[in-house]
Chain A
Amino acid sequence: MPDSFPPDSVGLAVPEVHHFAEPLELSCGRRLASYELVVETYGELNAARSNAVLICHALSGNHHAAGFHRVDDAKPGWWDDYIGPGKPIDTRYFYVVCLNNLGGCHGSTGPRTINPETGLRWGKHFPPLRVRDWVLSQARLADRLGIEQWAAVIGGSLGGMNAMRWALEYPARVRHCVVIASALKLTAQNIAFNEIARRAIRSDPDFRDGDFAEHGVVPRNGLALARMVGHVTYLSHALMGQRFGRELRSGSFARGLEVPVEFKVESYLHYQGDKFAESFDANTYLLITKMLDYFDLAREYGDDPVAAFRTARARFLVVSFTSDWRFAPQRSQEIVQALVAANRDVAYACIDSDMGHDAFLLPNARYEKLLRTYMARVAETC
């Protein structure tokens, strides 16, 4: 058990709850009369309020991007490799903001929280959301924190969609937009994987048509299965081969023995699935995968991503990873081509990695250097 934090860590991270009393008009036509967002910040906002960076989390992420909640935490926040003093998103220069988004299940208003109008848990009745609803709620948070313009809005995967939407919805409020392992919209294959995950959850008897909490149960099997499917798609063929191969965790193939065999990859997936089922909310999973499916950056711009990006004012960094087949490099190239055609400033790199879609969260020397170099330019404009 460590008795202090590593020197390049942001150290103890203390989540703050921000209550918003002003109603939020949602894309679906409904409104949230009030809501709460759980937020972590690292570093200091400068006097000019020009060094704020928004980190947008992906499907299963939350506000805890960096640092530790307790000295004896086994693991730091989900993007700790990239956020901290001396790290690519350097908290000596930047004021970094990360929140649990609306509809999430880590403290912000979502299916797990109580609807103040009914006094009951939102559960399956939480309104459907679009990424733009997140952006609107984040803009309110920026107002609250005194941030007129973000130095950068950064996100991977769904977070990348969030970042792009920011650049279109509030062109004057985003100086740099960093879009990692993302897409203008999901492909059919991607939607298909999401629907398999959703069906896994819905068909768990403990799901109880979304009212599992009222029955005091959790659809653990469904959630675990959804996560297992997702996890396979986040890794690459090569990585699974390297990490697990056909190695056995238990049992034997020896003749004359009748011992059940378990492959390492099986136990790994069960472990990941079960761990996820312990912490994640089934209704949130359904809600956020739908947000992913419905996202289409250019829908309201005549289905023309070039027209969409013409409204942006930010400079863009777009990053993809060679072995990512869930958000393939081709998807990032579509973003880049639209940006070039729209005359927007953009740098694009395709990072060599075996880590699949998960690469955007993991250490990688080239990725780290690229992000560090880009963010150093961003810091110069603060």
Chain B
Amino acid sequence: MLRVDLDIVRRWIAPGSRVLDLGCGDGELLRVLMDSRGVEGYGIEIDPEKITHCVARGVNVIEADVDQGLTDFPDKSFDTVLMANSMQVLRRPDHAIAEMLRVGEECIVTFPNFGNIRTRLFLAAWGRMPVTRQLPYQWYDTPNIHFCTVQDFEALCRERSIRVLHREFVAEQFPDRLLKGVWSNLFSATAIYHLAK
């Protein structure tokens, strides 16, 4: 996770709150939140190597498949349910978000914006699926099976009556960093949403 994404996510998490991180990877984000916000954090991860990394970091981690739902977790059992850069690998991201909103009071979702101008230009110019620094995979080996754009995500929130508490957009390159404020769907590389039911 990039430093700038992390800083945004951290701002939306109350000190001492209970946080569930779906697809927590090697536990880096949770470790930061534990150390800087004093959260009671739990991660869900499916990759054995990453689970071991979490254990090495002293991060609470539970081996489970987010695609199977969060049925083991009671309603509203967490203050915030996070999903950083994992939504696009899920079989049904919409189901996952519904589950997140059931289990958590609030949710934070970050995802790569496929509506980004570089992605669009790649497809337009070369007629091939975009391969970028942020999304370095070929179409056949990518774990990312459900890309969406900022506009797509906004539409989903409207359809499902999901409240957007905050939205932030991140761009790494110039002039995108300036222009993302004007036209987020075209210039942001990563979108970060703070949601509630």
Contact = CB atoms under 8 A, between A and B. Distances in A.
A322 to B, nearest CB: 11
28 contacts: A333-B72, A336-B62, A337-B73, A340-B42, A340-B60, A340-B62, A340-B73, A340-B77, A341-B77, A346-B42, A346-B60, A347-B51, A347-B59, A347-B61, A347-B62, A348-B62, A349-B48, A349-B55, A350-B63, A352-B48, A366-B48, A369-B52, A370-B52, A373-B52, A373-B56, A374-B55, A377-B56, A377-B58
Contacts of A239: none
Contacts, number: 48
Contacts of A352: 48
Contacts of B52: 366, 369-370, 373
Interface in A305-353: 317, 333, 336-337, 340-341, 343, 345-350, 352
Nearest to A320: B63
B136 interface: no
B196 interface: no
The range of chain B's interface size is 10 to 19
Contact of A347 (B18, B54, B73, B77): B54
A243 to B, nearest CB: 25
A376 interface: yes
Given A343-B40, A366-B48, A370-B51, A349 B63 contact: yes
B89 to A, nearest CB: 20
A-B pairs, top 5 by smallest CB distance, nearest first, are A348-B62, A373-B55, A349-B63, A337-B72, A373-B56
A323 B54 CA distance: 24
Contacts of B61: 347-348
A374 to B, nearest CB: 5
Nearest to A381: B58
Contacts of B54: 347
Contacts of A336: 62
Given A347-B55, A350-B63, A373-B55, 15 more contacts: A336-B62, A340-B42, A340-B62, A341-B77, A343-B40, A346-B60, A347-B51, A347-B59, A347-B61, A349-B48, A349-B55, A352-B48, A370-B52, A373-B52, A374-B55
B74 interface: yes
A197 B171 CA distance: 66
A337 B64 CA distance: 12
A337 B73 CA distance: 7
A24 to B, nearest CB: 36
Contacts of B55: 317, 347, 349, 370, 373-374, 377
Contacts of A373: 52, 55-56
Nearest to B56: A373
Contacts of A376: 56
Interface in B61-118: 61-63, 72-74, 77
A297 to B, nearest CB: 17
Nearest to A349: B63
